[in-house]
């Protein structure tokens, strides 16, 4: 039976009561305890900085050449916090409610409320670190809207919020490195979890420069390795982003929660051909001012500027008048797909819709003219001033779009289409962020927690920093308080010997295949199966076919993949091969989970389960639970269910109309 360890009592008091009664480790004992952190994005860097500051001995690992290259740096639009700076009705409860509703009532209430509670602390922490959030004219921090909400609660730094937040966390981390509280290991990839007497006690890593395998002991292990969207091959994730760390933990006994919950982001630059290795995100913040539309006539090949206003279908505003262009990501993505599938798509591929800033430019231009006290202003000047305002708000995003597409978005609408972005699934964790393996924790995107079946925009950065700065420093003490008598276990222990031998044997097996197909080609084939049959829309037949196709691909991979080079050297193809092998196994589980969940909810859209209006149709009586999968053997998993009990929020059919 899964125990989520949710504290008793009123929802709004659970976290305070927990902190008041949790076990503590005194400062002298913290210096004796070693903690391993895998991944140094926002969750990992903030956790390493916070735990190092508390006095623990921390070892932090990343496969990049610097923690600053973690994929968190790519986040654009902003970070949510319930500060109500705009005085527009926001509150901790409203952020909690929006997150539960946005996740289509498949989140754990206690975790989400805690996230909303600590959100305000995150902003104060980051401002103190010097993060350059955008500010209003009077100096107050600025906010903008994101999908799924009717308030402005998103703090931002132009279109590079993730970069600025990561630099803040990185500086805090590097301070602890300089003080000797954190040992930083770059270019190291975790390839196995070491358990002793059922508890996580270390990891086996590979030095990606020399190829050498290394053993590292820890009283606890924190996985902060991000999401697994690259299982689809094409995604907005950095190409190095992978599932290996959490997949190794899963095969060691950590349950995998809700693997099928994938977020498709509606605002990405469309695919242009088979040559692409990744996709580019255009921030959801653009939906604040951009209007999304398609021609009213099917197959219309005219240029956007030649299509008059009365012949444009602003379909999100038409279908969802209460939220308009700011509906949640899953809703906006499906709506775009529906229009394109019906023959209204634009561009050469017909797999795109327009995101148009013309109206915003005129609106801002008129406001600017008023601010400057200008009376009779000609249209060209209004347009010019409007463009200046838009450039200040979104300039780096517009520049990025023009560099990639060759089109000027100040003059013509952007073309966008949905793409894989974030994964709500991940290792199952309890209220303390501990997995089903004692001493093994998962933070940020690599756990299943908080976002249900669909993540609200600007909540990923919030969760990563909340877990690292404000949750794990309390919850890990509850475990380590009972570990203070455990001395550091020598890495000559048989468990370390066995784990390293397992890693070595797998690497040798990969290198000895000497087949004819590249790792990249295998990854592309996996991605096509996943996107076509477990992507934006899924059905039972397609998922059953996908499971068989993935199993065949796995057999082919392990018999015919070609990896050049040698083991004991810098060998990116070998690194990639190990990651793709794990993606193949994860892809199978994702399809199994999607097939098992015979309902639609959030980003999991089963075509057999939709309303008359084409919206997701949940079946709460049968599926009000977290799917937690236990690995048993090749192609075999056992499903455990954590019931979701709603004491405060009443689940209803989502409506954004």
From 329, 415, 538, 618, the catalytic residue: 329
Segment 609-626 shows an average pLDDT of 95
Beta bridge partners of 434: 441
Domain borders along the chain are 269-419, 494-623
User: Measured in whole angstroms, how far is the alpha carbon of residue 83 from the centre of its chain?
Assistant: 23
What is the percent of the chain where pLDDT is above 90? Answer: 96
pLDDT of residue 273: 83
d(CA 465, CA 226): 13
d(CA 101, CA 103): 5
Instruction: For the domain covering 494-623, report its CATH number.
Output: 1.20.58.100
pLDDT in tens, 604-615: 999 999 999 899
The answer to whether residues 357 and 390 touch, using CB atoms and an 8 Å cutoff, is yes
For residue 48, pLDDT over 90 is answered with yes
pLDDT of residue 275: 86
- Confidence band of 375 (pLDDT split at 50, 70, 90): confident
What is the percent of the chain where pLDDT is above 70? Answer: 100
pLDDT in tens, 479-495: 999 999 999 999 999 99
Residues found in the chain = 657
For residue 578, pLDDT over 90 is answered with yes
Segment 277-299 shows an average pLDDT of 95
| Helix, strand, coil content of the chain in percent (nearest 5) | 45, 15, 40
Q: Report residue 271 as tokens.
A: 């695919």
pLDDT in tens, 245-257: 999 999 999 999 9
Could you say which DSSP state residue 166 is in?
Answer: H
| Cβ atoms within 10 Å of 306's Cβ, excluding its own | 9
| Residue spans of alpha helices (H) in 218-328 | 244-251, 315-319
pLDDT in tens, 73-93: 999 999 999 999 999 999 999
For residue 1, pLDDT over 80 is answered with no
For residue 243, pLDDT over 80 is answered with yes
Judge whether 329 counts as a catalytic residue.
yes
- Confidence band of 299 (pLDDT split at 50, 70, 90): very high
Residues 6+ positions from 354 with CB-CB distance below 8 Å: 292, 293, 294, 304, 346, 413, 414, 415, 416
- Confidence band of 45 (pLDDT split at 50, 70, 90): very high
SS3 323: coil
- Confidence band of 524 (pLDDT split at 50, 70, 90): very high
pLDDT of residue 376: 86
Q: Report residue 467 as tokens.
A: 């877990």
Q: Which of 184-198, 226-240, 262-276 has the lowest mean pLDDT?
A: 262-276
pLDDT of residue 101: 96
Architecture of domain 269-419: Alpha-Beta Complex (3.90)
Q: What is the mean pLDDT of the chain?
A: 96
pLDDT in tens, 197-221: 999 999 999 999 999 999 999 999 9
């Amino acid at each position: 039976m899964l125990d989520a360890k949710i504290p008793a009592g009123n929802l709004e008091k659970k976290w305070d009561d927990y902190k008041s009664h949790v076990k503590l480790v005194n400062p002298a004992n913290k210096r004796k305890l070693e903690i391993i952190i895998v991944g140094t994005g926002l969750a990992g860097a903030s956790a390493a900085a916070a735990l190092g500051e508390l006095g623990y001995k921390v070892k932090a690992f990343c496969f990049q050449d610097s923690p600053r290259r973690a994929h968190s740096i790519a986040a654009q639009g902003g970070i949510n916090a319930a500060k109500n700076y705009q005085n527009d009705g926001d509150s901790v409860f409203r952020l909690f409610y929006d997150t539960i509703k946005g996740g289509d009532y498949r989140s754990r209430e206690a975790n989400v409320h805690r996230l909303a509670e600590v959100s305000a602390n995150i902003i104060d922490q980051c401002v103190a670190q010097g993060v350059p959030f955008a500010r209003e004219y009077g100096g107050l921090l600025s906010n903008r809207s994101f999908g799924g909400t009717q308030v402005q609660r998103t703090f931002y730094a132009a279109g590079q919020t993730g970069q600025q937040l990561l630099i803040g966390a990185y500086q805090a981390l590097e301070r602890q490195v300089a003080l000797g509280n954190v040992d930083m290991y770059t270019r190291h990839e975790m390839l196995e979890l070491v358990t002793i007497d059922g508890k996580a006690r270390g990891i086996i890593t590979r030095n990606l420069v020399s190829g050498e395998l290394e053993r590292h002991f820890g009283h606890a292990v924190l996985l902060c390795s991000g999401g697994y969207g690259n299982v689809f091959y094409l995604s907005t994730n950095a190409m190095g982003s992978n599932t290996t760390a959490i997949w190794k933990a899963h095969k060691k006994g950590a349950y995998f929660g809700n693997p099928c919950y994938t977020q498709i982001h509606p605002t990405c630059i469309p695919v242009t051909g088979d040559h692409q290795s990744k996709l580019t995100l255009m921030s959801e913040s653009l939906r604040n001012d951009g209007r999304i539309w398609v021609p009213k006539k099917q197959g219309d090949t005219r240029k956007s500027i030649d299509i008059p206003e009365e012949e444009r279908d602003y379909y999100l505003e038409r279908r969802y008048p209460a939220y308009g262009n700011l509906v949640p990501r899953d809703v906006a993505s499906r709506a775009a797909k529906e229009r394109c599938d019906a023959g209204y798509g634009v561009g050469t591929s017909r797999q795109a819709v327009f995101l148009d800033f013309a109206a915003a430019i005129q609106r801002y231009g008129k406001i600017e003219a008023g601010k400057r006290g200008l009376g009779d202003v000609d249209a060209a000047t209004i347009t010019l001033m409007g463009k200046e305002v838009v450039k200040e708000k979104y300039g780096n995003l517009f520049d990025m779009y023009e560099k990639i597409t060759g089109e000027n978005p100040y003059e013509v609408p952007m073309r966008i289409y949905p793409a894989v972005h974030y994964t709500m699934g991940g290792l199952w964790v309890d209220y303390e962020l501990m997995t089903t393996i004692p001493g093994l924790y998962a933070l940020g995107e690599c756990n299943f927690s908080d976002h249900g079946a669909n993540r609200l925009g600007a909540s990923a950065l919030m969760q990563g920093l909340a877990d690292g700065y404000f949750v794990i420093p309390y919850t890990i003490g509850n475990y380590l308080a009972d570990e203070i008598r455990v001395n550091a276990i020598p890495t000559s222990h048989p468990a370390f010997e066995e784990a390293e031998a397992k890693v070595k044997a797998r690497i040798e097996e990969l290198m000895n295949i000497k087949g004819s197909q590249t790792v990249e080609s295998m990854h592309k084939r996996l991605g096509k199966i996943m996107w076509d049959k477990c992507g934006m829309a899924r059905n039972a037949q397609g998922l059953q076919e996908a499971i068989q196709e993935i199993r065949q691909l796995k057999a082919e991979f392990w018999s015919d993949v070609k990896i050049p080079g040698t083991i004991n050297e810098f060998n990116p193809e070998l690194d990639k091969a190990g990651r793709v092998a794990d993606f193949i196994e994860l892809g199978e589980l994702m399809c199994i989970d999607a097939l098992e969940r015979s309902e639609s909810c959030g980003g999991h859209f089963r075509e057999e389960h939709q309303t008359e209006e084409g919206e997701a149709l949940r079946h709460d009586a049968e599926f009000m639970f977290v799917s937690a999968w236990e690995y048993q053997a090749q192609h075999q998993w056992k499903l455990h269910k954590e019931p979701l009990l709603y004491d405060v929020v009443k689940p209803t059919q989502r409506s954004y109309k």
